[in-house]
Every structure is written in structure tokens, then in C-alpha cells.
Amino acid sequence: MYEIRIHSRGGQGGVTAARLIALAAFRDGKYATAFPFYGAERRGAPVVSFVRIDDLPIKIYSQIASPDLVVVLDSSVMDSVDVLHGLKAEGSVFLNAAHSESIGDHRTYHVDLTGIALRNSLVVAGSPILNTPVLGALAKMGVITVESAKKAISEMFPDERNTRAAEEAFQELAL
């Protein structure tokens, strides 16, 4: 089973990103679950979302304590949350960042999702929406296929700016 924990702030699209990742995994022929965990709902508050992907039916419906991948959509969350808590020793980190950063001893990937969202006018209430570009990055990392990512995005958001943003993130991620 492959487990992902997504750290974001309310309004950035972290909850929807989890749903999109699960839908894309399903389109890849896998089983997948996604759900958020947050306190009082408000824009800007820290939010954690979880995704499980497996070849077999998933019968675990709890928070993910030891993820294989941690996705950080807003680096300011790291000021108040230990995003690496429980990350498997061989686990990876994906950061929404314009420049490369090392996070602990883990393999770290980065793409400027915020820049991609802004270039594609993916903004709601003044905040860049990061849920569709992150799918492109995760597809490049092999979590899902790029075809399933695009299909999931177009099913949920028919506006082509969303798939274009995912394609840009796919191209910009250096492996």
C-alpha cells in the first residue's frame, strides 16, 4: 500500500488534490481512498489530507501515521507542524517551492506550483489553487500516470487551464 499525507492551508486545494489523486489512481486500475482532517474550517488554517493507493481493496480508514510520501503545498505550515513526523525512512517529500531544498535525509522533489497556478490564472479569493498542478508533479514521480491525472482533472474541472497546469508541473519537475 502506498500512503500519502498532504499538508496545506484551507483554500489552497489540498483536500481536492487528495480526491483527484485517488480518482487518478482509480483510473489507473488501483484501489484508492482519500479524506481530509482539519479543525474549524477556515481559509488559511492548516489542513492535512490523506490518500491510500493499493492493488487490493483498502480496509484501513484512519489517518496515515507513516506515509511513503509527504506533500507540502505551503511551506509556512512547516513552522507549526512537523510534516516529516512518521515519514518512512525511505519516504519522499514533495515541496511547492521555486528552489530546491533538502528536508531531513529524505529524497526531496520540488516544483513552483504557486507560479504555475498564477500563470494559468488558477486563483480563488486571491489564493492560488494548487490541486491540479500537483497532480502533474506526482505523475512525473510515478505515483499515478499522467494520462489518469489529466483524465481525473478534466472530469472534475473541465476548464483546460487545469490540465495545462498539471502538464507544466510534469515538465518542470526534475527527477
Per-residue pLDDT band for 101 (boundaries 50, 70, 90) equals confident
Is 90 exceeded by the pLDDT of residue 10?
no
Question: How many helices and strands, by DSSP H and E, does the chain display?
Answer: 5, 8
pLDDT value of residue 42: 66
Confidence (pLDDT) at 103: 82
Instruction: Specify the pLDDT at position 41.
Output: 58
- Kindly report the number of other CB atoms within 10 A of residue 97's CB atom: 17
Number of Cβ within 10 Å of residue 154's Cβ equals 15
Q: What is the pLDDT of residue 100?
A: 86
Residue 122, pLDDT above cutoff 90: yes
Give dist(CA 71, CA 134) in Å, integer.
Answer: 9
* Whole-number pLDDT of residue 46: 87
Residue 81 is which amino acid? V
Domain 2-172 has CATH 3.40.50.300: no
Q: What is the pLDDT of residues 13-62, one digit of tens each?
A: 999 999 999 999 999 999 999 999 876 656 778 899 999 999 999 999 89
Map out the domains of the chain as residue ranges. Answer: 2-172
The H or E element spanning position 22 is helix 14-27
Task: Tell me the pLDDT band of 143, cut-offs 50, 70 and 90.
Answer: very high
What's the distance, CA 57 to chain centroid?
Answer: 22
Signed CA dihedral, 11, 146, 165, 104: sign only: positive
pLDDT number for residue 125: 85
Q: Say whether pLDDT at 126 is over 70.
A: yes
